Structure formats: structure tokens, C-alpha cells
Structure 1
């Protein structure tokens, strides 16, 4: 190869010009590289934590077998349901002297003692000033100052579940099984008759003033069912109130001819309802209860207290709220007497009394 050919094959080397733009480009490339390293490191660490955790949750047993349920969008808290703080005008009675006075009764012991000691959930005045008590573990009792018997007049009561005990009420709500029943006890024949089956956590019951139907709170489904016990509709059933703003617990007559309904939990709208979010996601429920206890999960449920008064036809008349449970918490029952509303609770160590003239 001669000199001319060598010159033709050689390419001139262009001088490299360093500018501010090239420095920025190098910095950008370095930053991109650092970001990639960070993302890879983060994902690796996350995977090292999440994968074993998922493995553990798969292997762990879940205490419940949740069923998916469909709930309508909760009603808006407007009009007569508009949030207020009227329940904060209540006064506490016998504070720290009671343990979960569910139905305006004094209940002793702890949750662990319930199967042995019993747990009264409903109470009514019977003939001759005796009391009829429905106990979650020991059934139906007629109580007077000297004796305790299993007989009484005709009474309507619920069997919330054939699987879960009263203390496991959160499992019952989250599992959403339909094994609850409405029952009738006949004082003459001393027989129990099944009136309704397939209920999801049937709770409080109330006989109408005319004694032609019984109202049943179906807690898990946020509604009230009606069963006719006399008249042309006897033996039939229909819906009394559907899609309530909370999970109804007990129900009692009001002086206006309607009904007081206590909500054990609220479905806020506007707002986020954990119960509604989980209703159609049984796999999330399984994950939660594999890792957390009932007591821990309960702490995530807002302490929003709500009592509503319904008309005789089921429309809303008024509502009393305590948005953060400042005075009234975990309300289970509202019982009207002599111008006062006495408020029971399934967890609080006190009763509350609200002067209806002040609200």
C-alpha cells in the first residue's frame, strides 16, 4: 500500500468539544443509572419480604370461610340522617361498673367467661312483672326475684348462628353465612317453632304495637325484615327497611308509634366504608383474619355512634349521632322511657341516658 492509499483510508479524528449540554447529558445518564439501581434494589427487598409473607399467609389457617355478599351503595347522610353531635348530650351512668350492657342489663365477667356465665342479649317485661331474658348461650329464661324458669308466654327471638358464639360476632359478620333463624316460643305447648331461616346474623326483634308482625334486624345485610304472625299475611315475610346507613343491632318501640334502631357500626356516605369494601372480597377477609385477631380488627372500625328513629312504616324520622364516640360508643340499643333514651352498648363499661327534650 502506497502513501496515497494510506492517507485515503485514514479518517481524520475530530476534536471533542465539551460543553455544558454534554455535562448535563452525562449527569442525566448517571442519574438514570442510579434510579435503575434503586428500583432494582427496592423491588428485590420488597420481594424478599412480601414473598415469604405471602407464603406464610397461604400456609396459615383462617378461622372463617367468608362468603361474598352484595350491598347497595349506602344512603347519603343527608336530610334527617345529616351528621350531628346530639348523642354527646347524653350522660353516662354507672361508668366502669358495667361490662357491655347490651340490652340495659348488668353483665359481668369477660368475653372468655361468656360460655360459662351466659350473655343476655335481650330483655322484656313479662306478666306479673317478671322478666324474659334471651341468653346467647343458655336460651330463654323467665326471671323473677325468687326463681329462674325456661317457660313463659309466646316470645319471638333470634338464633344468630349455628356456628359462631356471641363473642365471635365479628367472625359472624365477616363470614356472612346465612345460618340465622327467627324463632317462636309457645308458652302453652312449650315448643319452639322456626319461622324464618337463611338469615345473615339476625339480631334484635320487636313485635309491632298491633302484634301482627315481628321486625328482625339482619345485621350483616344492613336491613330489617318483617314476618307476619297474624292477619291475612300470617306466615308471610317482606322487607321493612333496606340498605340502612349502618349495621342494625337492637330495635325498640318509640313513643311516637315508630321504632328506635341502634347501629353497631356505620356505613359512611360520603366517606369510606370498610364493611362495604370487604363485602365482595372474601380473599382479603381471609388474609386479614389469618394475620389479625378479632380484637385488633375491631380497632380499625370507626367508633361512630348512630341511633335512628323510624316511623311505623319504616321511613326515617330523625337521627342522633356521636361521630367519634366521644360520649356514646358501640351503641347496641336505644330504649325510651319517661322522656329519656337509655342507650346500651356491646362493649362500653357504662350506660348512657339522653334527655329527648334537649335534642
Structure 2
């Protein structure tokens, strides 16, 4: 047992060196692992959200449903659907991409606490919203009357009632990671949706595979993870640099969702494919763009797709994925 422990420690240090992270600042505070099991025959809890009362997590899964966790005795129950064409007989438990244009594929989600409404980005149905009681969503107006190519993540400015969301680009419809990364595509865009005026505005284009969005604690900028460019871009909302962007941090690996912590740091889900095994890592980055903590989730997420999100909520990490049948929970 001692030999195995030493080997694991050496491997972890090697990963940190590979990622240019100092082991002295990267110790993971969340060793305890448990699962929130999804309904039978379902996979793909890409992202999570908690309502204003702390209920949840809510997550979108591959068969088109948004489900809500109701505790260990009940588990997950149906909450909402994004497609008006969806039927339980046709879609429930069907996880293949061939049905997602009919059943829907919800990715990003977040609550607007003032109303309790849940906003969702669906890859095929765009930006949608559903009330606190759930059910069938309502579609938000598109941009200039045109459908989005492939919506992914969102974040909400709770003080101003603005939803920031990204269109990753049509290349993501292929579902082929290698083809996406090697494409060099720069058709990705960042939008904002004003809840009061119901206006959608394009605020940044030329993004290389945007897949994650997170507002800073003071709402002065928004961070966008770029899947293809393997970096985090910052778009300034306020101050002397308003309406301009710069590179916040480069990532050694493929980044996915980015989520802000209560204290103002950011967790980024990263898949590193430079080794024979895909490493699934969560990195906490401070407001200066420096990595201050790294958690290795490879043992629990040993698949080519890795992980999609790391969200810290009330002292625990909630980890999402595209191909697993659970949400991972890591605690102290």
C-alpha cells in the first residue's frame, strides 16, 4: 500500500510539472469523493446550478432533460425540458447525438435569483428560460433573427439582470474533439441578453471555441475559456479598458467550463491529452491569472472526454462530465 501511495504521489507531481504548476501551491483540499447518481440509462451532467434557496444541484443531461437532485432518498427528478418536440417515449434514456436535435441538449444553466427563473443554453434550441416550477422552456429571441450555431455556457449578472453566454461555433456540431481542436476555428462569439428589455447583443467575436463564461466578483469583466486556443480570454465590461479584451491566462490542456468561487477565484475544468491517459484536472485560478490549486480527478473520470465543470459550492466541489452517469462530489 505504501508503494502504491508513493507512485500516486510521484505521478501527481509529474502532472503538476507538466502543467507548469508548483506542487507547493497546488495541494487539493477536497480528497473525499461521492456520487450523485443520475436516473437510469442517462449520462452527461455537463454543468450544474443551485437555486436561490440552495436546492439542487440541477443539471442538463444527454437525453434532453434538466433534472433536480432531491436528496439521497429521492435522487434526481425531472424538472424541465428544452424541446417542444420531445416525448418521454422517444427521448428518455436515449443519449445518442442523433436524437438531440429532437430531444434537445441542455449545457449551461444558471438561476436569476430575483425571479427564480432558470436560464439554459441548449446546443440546438438556443437560449431558453423556465420558471421556478419547471416544465417546458420559453425560447429567448435570437440575434438578428438568426439561429445560433451551438450554444454552450452562461453566467448571470444578478445586479443588472444580464445573461452572458457563448456560441461555440458550428464546428462543435461534429462532436469530434480532434477535429474541433485541429480546426483552428475562430467563429465563436460572446453575447449578452438583457432580461428587462429582452435584447440580445453581440459583444465579442473571433473567439476560438468559447465553451465557458464567468463574471468577476465585481462584475468588471467576464472570462471566456477558449477550447481550441487553450486559453482564457478576458472581456472588460467597466473601466478604462471597457469593451476590449486580453488574454487572462494560457492553459496547458483543453479548458471547458469556468466557475467563480465566493471569494472571487475561478475553477476551470481541464483535460490534458498530452499523455497516453487523459488527465482530468480542476484548477483554481486567482484574479491575477495564477494557478493556486490543482485537483486531479483522473481516477474518478478515466475517459477520453475527461470532465466539463468544477464548481465550488458550500465547501464542496461538484464535477460534471459528458459521458458519466453521475455528478461527482468532492469534499474535505
- TM bin, normalised by shorter chain, reads 0.5 to 0.7
Tell me which residue corresponds to 1:133. Answer: 120
**Higher Rg:** 1
Q: Could you list the per-position Cα deviations for residues 187-241 of structure 1 after superposition, in whole angstroms to 9, with x for gaps in the alignment?
A: 2443322222111111110111111111000111211000012233210111111
The DSSP-based 3-state class of the residue aligned with 1:90 is: strand
Contact 1:156 1:182 in 2 (8 A): yes
Partner of 2:283: 308
Q: Does 1:318 align with 2:293?
A: yes
The answer on whether the counterparts of 1:213 and 1:229 sit within 8 Å (CA) in structure 2 is yes
| 1:176-195 aligned within 5 A | 176-195=184-203
What residue is the counterpart of 1:255 in the other structure?
262
* Contact 1:80–1:319 (Cα < 8 Å) also in 2: no
Written as runs of structure 1 = structure 2, the 5 A alignment for 1:205-220 is 205-220=213-228
CA distance in 1, matches of 2:162, 2:194: 4
The structure-2 alpha-carbon separation of the partners of 1:259 and 1:85, relative to structure 1 and needing over 3 Å to count, comes to closer
CA distance in 2, matches of 1:309, 1:85: 10
CA-atom RMSD in angstroms: 2.6
* Alignment deviations for residues 4-47 of structure 1 (CA, whole Å, 9 cap, x no partner): xxxxxxxxxxxxxxxxxxxxxxxxxxxxxxxxxxxxxxxxxxxx
Contact residue 104 and residue 122 of structure 2 kept, 8 A: yes
Distance change in 2, residues 1:189/1:255 (3 Å): closer
The answer as to 2:161 corresponding to 1:172 is no
Q: Does 1:339 align with 2:328?
A: no
Gaps of 5+ in 2: 1-16, 49-58, 64-94, 141-155
Between the two proteins, the alignment pairs up a number of residues equal to 248
Tell me which protein shows more helix as a share of its residues.
Answer: 1
**Which of the two has greater strand per residue?**
2
TM-score (norm 1): 0.63
Alignment of 1:80-229 (within 5 A): 89-94=32-37, 97=40, 98-104=42-48, 105-107=59-61, 108=63, 109-126=95-112, 127-144=114-131, 145-146=133-134, 148-151=137-140, 153-165=161-173, 167-229=175-237
Unmatched segments (≥5 aa) in structure 1: 1-72, 268-272, 275-300
Asked if the contact 1:114/1:167 (under 8 Å) is kept, the reply is no
Whole-Å separation in 2 of the counterparts to 1:259 and 1:348? 23
Runs of 4+ in 1 over 6 A off after TM superposition: 84-88
Would the aligned equivalents of 1:120 and 1:134 in 2 still touch at CA under 8 Å?
A: yes
Deviation at 1:150?
2.9
Q: TM-score, normalised by structure 2?
A: 0.68
Cα displacement (A) at 1:86: 7.4
